Structure 1
Amino acid sequence: MPPVPPAPALSPETAADRRTVAVRADDAIVDLLIIGAGLAGIAAAQSAAAQGLHAIVIDKGRGIGGRMASRRVVLDDGRTISFDHGAQFMTARSPALIARMVAAEADGAVRRLDADDTQDPRWVGGHPRWVGVGAMTALVKALARGLEIRPAVRVACIGRDAGIWTLTDDQDAVIGRGRRLIVTTPPEQALDLLIDTVLPEGWRRRIAGTLVAPCWALMLATAQPLPLPAPRWRPDDEAIAWISDQRALPGHDRDIPAYVVHASPHWSRVHLERDAGGVAGLLIGEIGRLTGTTIMPLYAQAHRWRHALVELPLGAPCLADHAAGLAIAGDWCIGGRAEAAVDSGRAAVLALTG
């Protein structure tokens, strides 16, 4: 196989996390192309690498991890806060994933939560929950280390000719060519990307039959701490589904009261198309009502996750056509857990290579 063109120079921090290669139309045909650098895509690339396959992960975002997201902001007084505004933790059940997390913990990238620290009656004993140290993205970077990832590249068209998948951008420039393709985007986006692709009978109906709820997330810093019953609280409330005190997370600043608030699926649907500023104000009002306090925000920013909580999954680990070398994967195939994305990504590679 011809060598992959050399990557451009990266900062030391970026180079330690992943390799990024230049997008060129004359790239070699690789074993596997993966669209989406969330947990499903990263897990698929890991599995492919373990088999000695050359895989490339392509993502439209500037970073990796999908909903395993963090945001760092600077307040007016110059202080910095980090918010984990997407997935709040990852549960590890499989021995392979637990081993990977234990290794990342030894490197200082992740840490497990104590069961009592969540105050969540749905906690299932025996399954550790992990968070990134300083930011959830630290967990994702630990999993993605050594993988070949092309960020900030948007796939506009998918084609297949003579058994080779070709991805192009909106300028018809070739992004990548591969013998196999795995799409790990949310279901609606997967259907859009594959609109010109002949899929096996029933695939489109099954994908369209899934249901993934949205979630408005609020990143909030306050002058005074909120009176929460626990650092991670699931109130029985129609509007608010989750409040997390970011000071309780490993590696986060403990001096500034900072919180991530997730609205309920119903509330998020009702307010889905509102502007972020208006949603932030509404959620601050809901938190004040819930806690019986007047909130003085130092910082408030709402973020809309259009595809957040799996309500009606596909009911299978993935969809795969071995002969065509095509698979579709994601947490929405299995259920609403971060680890479901990992399981789905691995299942997709096995289905295409087994």
Structure 2
Amino acid sequence: MQELDRRKFLGKAGTIAAGLGALYIAATIPGCGSNASDTCPVDEGPEAAPEEVPAPVQTTPAAGLVVVKGTDPAAMLRKGLEAWGGLAALDLAGKKVLIKVNAAFARPPEDATTTNPELLAETISQLLAAGASRVTVFDHILQDLVDQTLEANGIGPAARAAGAELAVYAVRKPGSARVVQIPGATALPSAGILDEIFAADVIVNMPKVKHHSGAGLSMAMKNFIGTTQTMGNFHNVDLHKAIAEINTVIKPALVISDATNILLDHGPGGPGMVADPGQVIIGTDPVAIDSYCCGLFGTAPAQINYLVYGEQLGVGTTDFASLGMTEVSA
């Protein structure tokens, strides 16, 4: 992996972000953009015949949570994976890994709106070292100017320097998708899931933990809205139930939640008040990890309905302590 100069890297990201402030796209659905009154375009969705629930599925059983605290994202990731037991359990040799990041906004890492690029770069490096044949950094974002957005938030340079491919789609130019039936769903009986999900052998969910004006909080479960071609459709139904339902058909092998810093208000796009918990949370149960992260905001899991629904649908448990927790420092 090409070493990243942290200060130079973050400085470049901040400079680019400042120049892109006027290029933000207003969203059209409450909670899509920076403010609750913003909206984002709704498309009609793919017309292909529905398919069965896609692979890949979870490759390891639900395990305990690892909470790592520190100030160096790369060191935190290494220490956290070591405490979690390493990547050997994922059997990555020769496999194609997809990392679902949050890359939606053209803001620098200190604004806490997107996945930390240093954390991402180290994750890519660790996955490749564990034998992955290819790592793809993936998202469907609320911007038209994809390249500029990825430069501004640092995700583009970080992914390329670490040896990953990029598959990030613009809101008005989503990639091709397959319509998938969601068994038993009432809010989202089917969804157009982007092709990259089907092409991956292993999915790593790497969300940014932050406030969200529509969903309350944006964390691991909500991050999977960005796996679909028709993100706007979630806001035309019961948003929380739809979030839970999409998580019944797309299951990560690993969740790495970025709470190195968190956006406390005016999410998801900011700018807003930022706190610095200095934490990365690692595990396999997105409901449990999200429930833990609620505490960083002084919020109970029961206040976030998609967590309640997720537990009811068997996605995971809100009783994160029951899984066992390991806390380490880096």
TM-score normalised by structure 2 residue count: 0.23
Q: Which has the higher helix share?
A: 2
Q: Which has the higher strand share?
A: 1
The structure with the larger Rg is 1
TM-score normalised by structure 1 residue count: 0.22
Report 1 or 2 for greater relative contact order, CA contacts < 8 Å, sequence distance ≥ 6: 2
